[in-house]
Copies of this chain bind each other. A is one copy, B any other.
Amino acid sequence: MKKLINEPEAVVDEMLEGMVAAHPDYVRRLEGTNVLVRADAPVEDEVGIVSGGGSGHEPTHAGYLGEGMLDGAAAGEVFTSPTADQLQGMIDACEGGAGVLCVVKNYEGDVMNFETAIELAEMEGDAEIEHVVVDDDVAVEDSLYTSGRRGVCGTILVHKVAGAAAARGDDLAEVKRLAEKTVERVGTMGMALTSCTTPEKGEPTFDLPDDEIELGIGIHGEPGVERTEVMKADSVAEHLTERVLEDLEIEEGREVATIVNGMGATPQMELYVVNRRLQELLDERGLDAVERWVGDYMTSLDMAGCSITVLELDDELRELLAAPADTPALTVRGED
């Protein structure tokens, strides 16, 4: 295993120190925890938007801390849910008087620990706390770590929509409604050229021969649902896009937002080649992609590969996606 780390057991702590050292204007660390919050949290009279999950998916989630996106991000150990007490501490720190919305990726540990944290926070305080569970991965119905679909890169669009709604002053019920609407309309499918290697294990989490790829992978080193011989980028884009669009059943003429997401070790050159075919496919189907993100949004350590996310828009979702955001990983200037 070759990685730019020190001791494997220190990697999350040291990464978080490195993030705070890079972005002190954006984030601060809750002392004694692996929770980062917005430097100015809690924001008074705004719904706090928080998320969290295992580490190894950077910039998810802490990269999205800042104006117009997240107020809190809890980092578990690599591919391991944050503990309920750390989640509770995050919720408390991000409650500015208008309640808190937790955005939870659908993994059993994350869902369980967030539910416990919310119960504890509600018992000990009088804040209103809601949560939404994101389950955008169309590859599998149940998986190694979930009942129901996995939550993957579509989560970032939920962060963006909920964060923008909170920033313009929507109340908790409205922010939750918009987040849930996003969850209902978003689908993702991923693929891998290589496995990933966790710092602790030091070996690839699955074996993948030089002439094969995995379709339908998750973000925790799970193998995919189908193994095929190496395909050209256009065929990969077609396969992923078709699976997502079959699932979403979007009518011709509708507007969509798309993400071509790198899994951590994929050069931008390759992501743009995939985006080229994705946008052609959407054109052919009469879909109008008004937001087209390309980059590393939700990764799986050092996996090479990509995922494609499509979100069906309407006027209110489009407006929220285009609203200003100012975070280390995503900046939207918005209209002047």
A4: chain B residues at CB < 8 Å are: 193, 233, 236, 266, 270-271, 273-274, 305-306
- B269 near A267: Cβ-Cβ < 8 Å: no
**Which chain B residue lies CB-closest to A10?**
B273
Which A238-285 residues have C-beta < 8 A from chain B? Answer: 260, 264-276, 279-280
- A276 near B21: Cβ-Cβ < 8 Å: yes
- B230 near A2: Cβ-Cβ < 8 Å: yes
Stoichiometry (number of copies): 2
Interface of A is mostly: mixed
CB distance from A257 to the nearest CB of B (A): 12
Q: Which of A41-49, A51-59, A99-107, A149-157 contacts B (4 or more CB under 8 A)?
A: A51-59
Taking A2-B304, A213-B2 as contacts, is the C-beta distance between A273 and B21 under 8 angstroms? Answer: no
Which A294-336 residues have C-beta < 8 A from chain B? Answer: 294, 296, 299, 301-302, 304-306, 326, 331-333
Taking A265-B302, A296-B268, A302-B267 as contacts, is the C-beta distance between A233 and B6 under 8 angstroms? Answer: yes
Interface check A11, CB cutoff 8 A: yes
What CA separation (Å) do A305 and B4 show in the bound complex?
A: 8
Interface check A112, CB cutoff 8 A: no
Partner of A2, one of B193, B271, B276: B193
Partner of A302, one of B19, B279, B304: B304
Interface check A63, CB cutoff 8 A: yes
Interface check A3, CB cutoff 8 A: yes
- A15 near B301: Cβ-Cβ < 8 Å: no
Taking A6-B234, A213-B2, A299-B267 as contacts, is the C-beta distance between A275 and B333 under 8 angstroms? Answer: no
A168: chain B residues at CB < 8 Å are: none
A265: chain B residues at CB < 8 Å are: 264-267, 302, 304
What CA separation (Å) do A8 and B271 show in the bound complex?
A: 15
What CA separation (Å) do A233 and B3 show in the bound complex?
A: 8
